C-alpha cells in the first residue's frame, strides 16, 4: 500500500528568516491561510521567543488555522518551550519543534559543550514539552555533518524521551543525494526504537541538492518532508515544497508514496508567497517559474501540437495554471503561428499564412517575443495603419512637494489635437505620469510588468522602461528609452496606447467584414 508523506512547511519560519524585512502578522496570516488551503499538513508558524512580532503571528495563526497542524520552533530552553506552547494554546492541534546542534562542530564550537551534555539537554527539554503536547518534533541540527554513532545515539534517546517526529536536517546543504539517503537508511537499521517516530528531513540548498536529497530520503524511508514555497530560506534556501510534491505526483510509479496536497493550489500559493515576501521567482524555476510550461523552439512546439506528452511531463492545469500559450519567437515554426491564430478564433482561409509567417519572422528577429495583437496586426492590418502612431508625448512636467506628493502635467498629441491633463500621486512621480496619461487616453488596463533598466553613467546614461499591460484580457507590450526615466516611462505607455488603438482598428475592421 502507498504511504503518505507528511508535508511540513516552514515558509513562515525558515523562509522568513531570509527576508530583508520581517512580515507583518497580517501578511503571515495570509500565507498561512493559503498553505492550509493547499493542504499542507504542518505549518511552522514561527519562533515565538525570537520577537514579540513572531509571538503575535504564531498566536493569531493558531486561532485561525483549523485543518493544518500549527508548529513553533523552540531551542532546548525552558522559557522557549513555555512561550511556544503559550503562543499556540488556542490552536486546534499543535506541535512543539525543538532543535539542538549535534555535529562535533556545532556541539563544541557553537554550543561549547560535550555530546553527553547535549543529549541531556535534549531529553530534559522533550520531557518539559510533553507537559503541553504529545506532538513533539526534535531536530538534530547539522545532522548532515554529525557522526553516525552520535546521530543514532541521540535519536534513540529523544524517541525514548517522547519525541514523535525526528528531523534530520542538512543544515548547511553539504550532503549529496546518495549519501543523505544512506544516513536515513542507517538510522532505520541501527536505531532500535526508530519505528516509534516519523523520520523527517529538512534540507538546505547550498549545493543545489535540497530537493534531490529530500527525494532520496523518501526512498530510504523518510515520511515527512520539510521545506518552503518557492524554496525560499536561509542562504540558497530550503527544499522547494512544490518541487517535492510534484515529483511525488509525477513519479508515483517509482516512489510509491502520496501527499495530501491539493495540487491545483500550488500556483496561486507560490504567487502569494512571492508577492508578500517580495521575492521574485526565477523564470526557469521548476514547476512555478514563468517559463516552466512555455515551449519556445519550433521543434518542441511542433512536437507539443502533435502530442503534449512529447515535451510535457506535467500539465500546467494540474498546478492550477491556465493553459500556457507558446512563446512565439523567431524560433517558432509556421505550425505554432497557425495554431495561435486558430486559438484566437481565426480560420486559415481568413489570412495568408505564408505572408503572415514571413512578416512574423521579420518582426520576431527584431523584437523577440510576439504578442497576439501583433500577430493580428501582421495578418490583417492595412498598410496605411501598420506604422501609424496617433499618440505622441509633447511635454511632461513634474512638481514634487515637501510632503512627498508628486504632480505630473502632461501634454499628448492625440490624432494631432493637444490634450493636457495633470494628476497627483502620493507614491512616486512615475505613478503621477501614469495617472495623467490614463486621464488623457482613457484606456482601462492593469500593469502586469514594469521593468526599469539603465546603462551608462553621467552623460552616457540611458534609461529603458519595458511595460506589459492587460487590456480587456489581452497583453500589450511597450518600451520607452530616454536619458530621463520619466520620459522613458511615458513613452513606454504611449507606445502601448498606439498598439491598443491600432488593435481596436483591426478588430473593428474584422467585425465589419464578418457582418
Contact residues: ligand KIV, CB under 6 A: 14, 99, 139, 141, 167, 169, 171, 202, 204
**Interface pick for Zn ion out of 5, 7, 8, 14 (rule CB under 5 A):** 14
Choose the contact partner of 141 out of Zn ion, ligand KIV, none; CB within 5 to 8 A by kind: ligand KIV
Q: How far apart are CA 340 and CA 224, in angstroms?
A: 43
Asked if 41 touches Zn ion (CB under 5 A), the answer is no
Helix, strand, coil proportions of the chain in percent (round to 5)?
50, 20, 30
**Site stretch for Zn ion (CB under 5 A), options 7-15, 190-198, 353-361, 473-481:** 7-15
Q: How many residues bind Zn ion (CB under 5 A)?
A: 1
Nearest-angstrom CA–CA distance, 409 and 411? 7
Give the contact letters, 336-375, x = binds to Zn ion (CB under 5 A), - = no. Answer: ----------------------------------------
CB of 257 to ligand KIV, least distance (A): 22
By C-beta, is 14 or 135 nearer to Zn ion?
14
Selection from 202, 217, 315 nearest residue 263 by Cα? 315
Q: Which stretch binds Zn ion (CB under 5 A): 12-20, 279-287, 348-356, 466-474?
A: 12-20
Q: What is the 3-state secondary structure (H, E, C) of 67-119?
A: CCEEEEEEECCHHHHHHHHHHCCCCCCEEEEEEEECCHHHHHHHCCCCHHHHH
Of the candidates 388, 488, 496, the one whose C-alpha atom is nearest the C-alpha of residue 443 is 496
Query: From ligand KIV, Zn ion, none, which one binds at residue 269 (CB under 5 to 8 Å depending on kind)?
Result: none
Query: From Zn ion, ligand KIV, none, which one binds at residue 139 (CB under 5 to 8 Å depending on kind)?
Result: ligand KIV
Q: Which is nearer to Zn ion, 204 or 295 (CB)?
A: 204
Residue 434 C-alpha cell reads as 501614469
| Least Å from the CB of residue 204 to ligand KIV | 6
Q: Which is nearer to ligand KIV, 47 or 346 (CB)?
A: 47
Q: Kindly tell me which of 101 and 298 has the beta carbon lying closer to ligand KIV.
A: 101
DSSP collapsed to 3 states, 175-200: CCHHHHHHHHHHHHHHCCCHHHCEEE
Residue whose cell numbers read 520581517: 22
Residues in the chain: 515
Q: State which residue has the least CB distance to Zn ion.
A: 14
Nearer to Zn ion, 100 or 502 (CB): 100
Separation CA 124–CA 98 (nearest Å)? 11
Q: Could you list the residues that contact Zn ion (CB under 5 A)? A: 14
Amino acid at each position: 500500500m502507498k504511504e503518505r508523506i507528511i508535508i511540513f512547511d516552514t515558509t513562515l519560519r525558515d523562509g522568513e528568516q531570509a527576508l530583508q524585512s520581517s512580515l507583518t502578522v497580517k501578511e503571515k496570516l495570509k500565507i498561512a491561510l493559503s498553505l492550509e488551503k493547499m493542504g499542507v499538513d504542518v505549518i511552522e508558524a514561527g519562533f515565538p521567543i525570537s520577537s514579540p512580532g513572531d509571538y503575535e503571528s504564531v498566536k493569531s495563526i493558531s486561532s485561525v488555522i483549523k485543518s493544518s497542524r500549527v508548529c513553533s520552533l523552540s531551542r532546548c530552553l525552558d522559557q522557549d518551550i513555555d512561550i511556544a506552547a503559550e503562543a499556540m494554546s488556542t490552536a486546534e492541534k499543535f506541535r512543539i519543534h525543538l532543535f539542538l546542534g549535534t555535529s562535533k562542530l556545532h556541539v563544541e564550537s557553537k554550543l561549547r559543550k560535550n555530546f553527553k551534555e547535549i543529549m541531556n539537554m535534549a531529553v530534559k527539554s522533550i520531557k518539559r514539552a510533553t507537559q503541553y503536547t504529545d506532538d513533539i518534533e526534535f531536530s538534530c541540527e547539522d545532522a548532515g555533518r554529525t557522526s553516525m554513532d552520535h546521530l543514532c545515539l541521540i535519536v534513540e534517546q529523544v524517541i525514548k524521551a517522547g519525541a514523535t517526529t525526528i528531523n534530520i536536517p542538512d543544515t548547511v546543504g553539504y550532503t549529496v543525494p546518495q549519501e543523505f539517503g544512506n544516513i536515513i537508511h542507517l538510522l532505520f537499521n541501527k536505531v532500535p526504537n526508530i519505528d516509534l517516530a516519523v523520520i523527517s528531513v529538512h534540507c538546505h540548498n547550498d549545493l543545489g541538492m535540497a530537493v534531490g536529497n529530500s527525494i532520496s530520503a523518501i526512498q530510504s524511508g523518510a515520511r515527512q518532508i520539510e521545506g518552503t514555497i518557492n524554496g525560499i530560506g536561509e542562504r540558497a534556501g530550503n527544499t522547494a515544497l512544490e518541487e517535492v510534491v510534484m515529483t511525488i505526483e509525477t513519479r508515483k510509479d517509482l516512489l510509491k508514496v502520496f501527499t495530501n496536497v491539493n495540487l491545483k493550489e500550488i500556483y496561486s500559493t507560490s504567487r502569494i508567497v512571492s508577492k508578500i515576501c517580495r521575492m521574485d521567482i526565477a523564470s526557469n524555476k521548476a514547476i512555478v517559474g514563468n517559463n516552466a510550461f512555455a515551449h519556445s523552439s519550433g521543434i518542441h512546439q511542433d512536437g507539443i501540437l502533435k502530442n503534449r506528452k512529447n515535451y510535457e511531463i506535467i500539465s500546467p492545469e494540474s498546478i492550477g495554471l491556465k493553459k500556457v500559450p507558446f512563446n512565439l519567437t523567431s524560433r517558432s515554426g509556421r505550425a505554432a503561428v497557425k495554431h495561435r491564430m486558430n486559438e484566437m478564433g481565426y480560420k486559415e482561409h481568413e489570412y495568408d499564412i505564408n505572408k503572415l509567417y514571413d512578416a512574423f519572422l521579420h518582426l520576431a528577429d527584431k523584437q523577440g517575443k510576439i504578442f497576439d495583437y501583433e500577430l493580428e496586426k501582421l495578418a490583417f492590418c492595412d498598410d496605411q495603419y501598420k506604422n501609424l502612431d496617433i499618440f505622441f508625448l509633447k511635454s511632461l512636467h513634474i512638481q514634487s512637494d515637501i510632503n512627498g506628493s508628486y504632480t505630473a502635467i502632461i501634454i499628448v498629441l492625440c490624432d494631432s489635437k493637444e490634450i493636457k491633463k495633470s494628476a497627483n500621486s502620493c507614491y512616486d512621480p512615475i505613478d503621477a505620469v501614469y495617472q495623467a496619461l490614463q486621464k488623457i487616453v482613457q484606456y482601462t488596463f492593469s500593469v502586469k510588468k514594469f521593468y526599469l533598466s539603465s546603462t551608462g553613467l553621467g552623460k552616457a546614461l540611458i534609461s529603458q522602461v519595458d511595460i506589459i499591460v492587460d487590456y480587456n484580457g489581452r497583453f500589450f507590450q511597450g518600451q520607452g528609452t530616454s536619458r530621463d526615466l520619466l520620459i522613458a516611462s511615458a513613452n513606454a505607455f504611449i507606445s502601448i496606447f498606439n498598439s491598443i488603438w491600432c488593435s481596436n482598428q483591426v478588430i473593428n475592421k474584422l467585425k465589419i467584414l464578418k457582418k
